[in-house]
Structure 1
Amino acid sequence: MGNGAFITFEGIDGSGKSTQLKRLAEALKGSGHNVVVTREPGGSEGAEEIRSLVLEGATDRWSAETEILLFTAARRDHMERTILPALEAGKIVLCDRFADSTRMYQGLSRGDLRDLVDQLHDLMIGREPDLTVLIDMDPATGLARAKGRQTSEERFEDFGQELQNKMRAGFLDLAREFADRYRIIDGDQSMDDVAADVLKSVLDYLND
């Protein structure tokens, strides 16, 4: 067995988590760590194909139940082909979103389906991150940033600020539920200050 670390980044759309993950990866690589950067949905060839199905198109393209199945299928492939091999090799895996996003987007914000998400996760995935970094910020700011990105993957952003508000509250609830692995970072600071707080939290964990 390897001694790698599985670290995920979570937050509402536009929170800056993807940018902060990349900055953390550069800092860790600069200090000699072997780092793998990946994302969900995606991170493997099969999972990337599913990504295009769930992140593009009309808001009513899929039911919440169908989305849960699609995300779980993508996550299983991602775990088998990318995450677990890297951890076995002793690498640090930095993942942009993981099961907590499914717990929020499909399990909470689009219906009372959290139990279904957890049942499928236990059955098909069976692993939580070692550490989760939550970039917490004002939902209105996050949505404005997300809508300004001009990408084709806007399906969830099109649900509007009501979803963003639910998401923020839900992530903070998750941080309390999984307090042992969550670190909350104030995303309303400057990017440099956020990056410094993220790096400190991760190094404290790695050096513990």
Structure 2
Amino acid sequence: MRYFLIFPFLLLTACAFTDITVDTKGNRENLNLSGGDNREIILLVPYADERDNQNRCGMKKNGYNMDTADVFCSPSPAQQLAESVAEELRKAGFSVKTQGETSKATGVKIQGTLRKFFVEPVIGFTTVSMETDISVHLIATSNNGLNAERTFFVKGMQSAMAATESNFQGSVNNATSQIVKQIVTAIITLMNRYPELGQMSPVNFKYYAYN
């Protein structure tokens, strides 16, 4: 039993002092969503970046739970997450622009803020769990009165015997897949709740903010 307790400690310590870079594009699942009907959405890219520390995306730790090295990310998570959401909305049938203003009375503009993107190891008795926390806040508005906002939060986890670069990446992949799916699903739900949004012909409708 003592061997199993020491082994992950040694593996964690051995690779704890080298900086790494994770890919924020990751390997996302195919969402296979629909319902866009060519309705227009202005999704501003990139998201505003309001992370506490924008210089890195995470940390490595040694066996004593001390911060020993940096985890960087590329591309910028504020850029990549917004692009991934735009890509999935296009696949779902929406007409998505990533800048500018909508010319339609019912056109929807979505602004996002990245509040957290951080990956770090959590040391257990016999394993190490890489955990990635991501938080994004969205505000959706339209010229005819829509004003909705919502905060999304996910935790991506990857358990292993050692905090290797591939395990950090696996945790990031898990979290980015979750957050993109949550955001895209929520936007489609909102658009389907008010099907006149983004249509060519303006329709008078009263909207209410939601959280």
TM-score range, shorter chain: under 0.3
Larger radius of gyration: 2
Q: Which has the higher contact order (CA 8 A, sep 6+)?
A: 1
TM-score normalised by the chain length of structure 1: 0.24
TM-score normalised by the chain length of structure 2: 0.24
